[in-house]
């Protein structure tokens, strides 16, 4: 039976560090602040917005929400976003995506300061991951995978890792980060030929394909570490991951649950990024 790698202990550890840093910064008159930018009233965005606001309040990090009508023109949104970006009070910006189809994301990127891009939307921050620089911001979900493995002392040196998913939010940056820890990484996806065989050859599997319970016990070798990044809704309306947890836990040595796994770590990392951004902008 696998050891369950819960996200709460990882998150609590990260938050403890954040609390100490925020307390120290406030002593110097610096108050870290996140700007959440949302277009429309998507329920999943609103849910995450409420969660971030509640958790950041406990950490002493201010949050200001900038909400815009779903039909706002591109010209008006770019003008408003540029003002938010220039505000010295806002140290980090979380922009909910995807944007409405009539808003050109490249036009938004053009007025977005990389030092405030705390969830790695910009090419500049992605490029830093690919060249191994540490002064940018990694995508919070990809970094949550690394943080969880580090916390539970999973050494990636020499390990074969199979990442299922090739997005710029998880798969691609995570592959670079894992290679930086001396892992041998294979990036797969839903079109990969004989995906199950690729997974069985791995010591560590990271599932981030966005398909509920697609990874079952036939994909996993005995003793593998399985990290589930997927967040889906099953046929019963319950949250589930990309991994069939009940079947895979019988073969894996370690496994993350959904909910309560990687997702629980991402908000703590977002808080760390806001603190890091505030420090850089105040030359601390």
214 and 105 both lie in a single domain: no
Pairing of strands 254-255, 3-4: parallel
In the chain, the number of structural domains is 2
253 and 171 both lie in a single domain: yes
CA 206 from centre of chain: 13
Given a cut of 90, is residue 233 above it in pLDDT? no
Domain limits at 146?
A: 140-263
Q: Is residue 8 part of a domain?
A: no
Assigned token pair, 245: 């947890």
194 and 110 both lie in a single domain: no
111 and 145 both lie in a single domain: no
Give 241-256 pLDDT, tens digit per residue.
999 999 999 999 999 9
Task: Look up the CATH number of the domain holding residue 103.
Answer: 3.40.50.10860
d(CA 116, CA 99): 18
- At residue 19, the pLDDT reads 97
Given a cut of 90, is residue 1 above it in pLDDT? no
- At residue 235, the pLDDT reads 81
Q: Is residue 129 part of a domain?
A: no
Percent of the chain's residues with pLDDT above 90: 89
Domain's final residue, options 115, 150, 176: 115
Task: Look up the CATH number of the domain holding residue 218.
Answer: 3.40.50.720
259 and 152 both lie in a single domain: yes
150 and 232 both lie in a single domain: yes
Give 83-98 pLDDT, tens digit per residue.
999 999 999 999 999 9
258 and 145 both lie in a single domain: yes
Q: How many CB atoms lie within 10 A of CB 259?
A: 13
Q: Is residue 175 part of a domain?
A: yes
111 and 158 both lie in a single domain: no
Give 167-202 pLDDT, tens digit per residue.
999 999 999 999 999 999 999 998 999 999 999 999
Q: Is residue 14 part of a domain?
A: no
**What is the residue whose two structure tokens read 């990687």?**
262
247 and 160 both lie in a single domain: yes
Phi, psi of 10 (to 5 degrees): -65, -45
Q: What is the mean pLDDT of the chain?
A: 95
**CB under 8 A, 24+ apart: contacts of 166-169:** 167/208, 168/126, 168/139, 169/139, 169/141, 169/142
- Quick check: 121 and 136 in contact, CB under 8 A? no
**What is the residue whose two structure tokens read 């050891």?**
3
Give 114-152 pLDDT, tens digit per residue.
999 999 999 999 999 999 888 889 999 999 999 999 999
183 and 111 both lie in a single domain: no
Q: Is residue 273 part of a domain?
A: no
156 and 61 both lie in a single domain: no
- At residue 237, the pLDDT reads 81
146 and 93 both lie in a single domain: no
Given a cut of 90, is residue 284 above it in pLDDT? no
């Amino acid at each position: 039976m696998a050891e369950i790698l819960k996200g709460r202990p990882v998150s609590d550890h990260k938050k403890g560090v954040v609390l100490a840093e925020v307390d120290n910064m406030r002593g110097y008159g610096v108050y870290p602040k996140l700007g959440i930018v949302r277009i429309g009233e998507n329920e999943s965005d609103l849910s995450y917005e409420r969660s971030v606001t509640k958790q950041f309040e406990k950490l002493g990090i201010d949050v200001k929400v900038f909400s815009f009508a779903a039909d706002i023109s591109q010209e008006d949104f770019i003008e408003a976003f540029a003002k938010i970006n220039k505000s010295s009070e806002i140290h980090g910006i979380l922009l909910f995506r995807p944007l409405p189809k009539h808003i050109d994301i490249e036009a938004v990127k053009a007025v977005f300061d990389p030092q405030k891009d705390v969830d790695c939307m910009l090419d500049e921050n992605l490029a830093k991951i690919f060249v191994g620089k540490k002064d940018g911001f990694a995508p919070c979900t990809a970094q949550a995978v690394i943080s969880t493995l580090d916390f539970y002392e999973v050494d990636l040196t020499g390990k074969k890792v199979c990442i299922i998913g090739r997005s710029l939010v998880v798969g691609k940056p995570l592959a670079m980060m894992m290679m930086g820890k001396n892992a041998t990484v294979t990036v797969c996806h839903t079109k990969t030929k004989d995906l199950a065989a690729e997974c069985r050859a791995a010591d560590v599997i990271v599932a981030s394909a966005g398909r509920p319970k697609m990874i079952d016990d036939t994909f996993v070798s005995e003793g593998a570490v399985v990290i589930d990044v997927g967040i889906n809704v099953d046929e019963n309306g319950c949250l589930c991951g990309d991994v069939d947890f009940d079947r895979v836990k019988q073969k894996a040595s370690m496994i993350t649950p959904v909910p309560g796994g990687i997702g629980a770590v991402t908000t703590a990392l977002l808080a760390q990024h806001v603190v890091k951004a505030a420090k850089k902008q105040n030359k601390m």
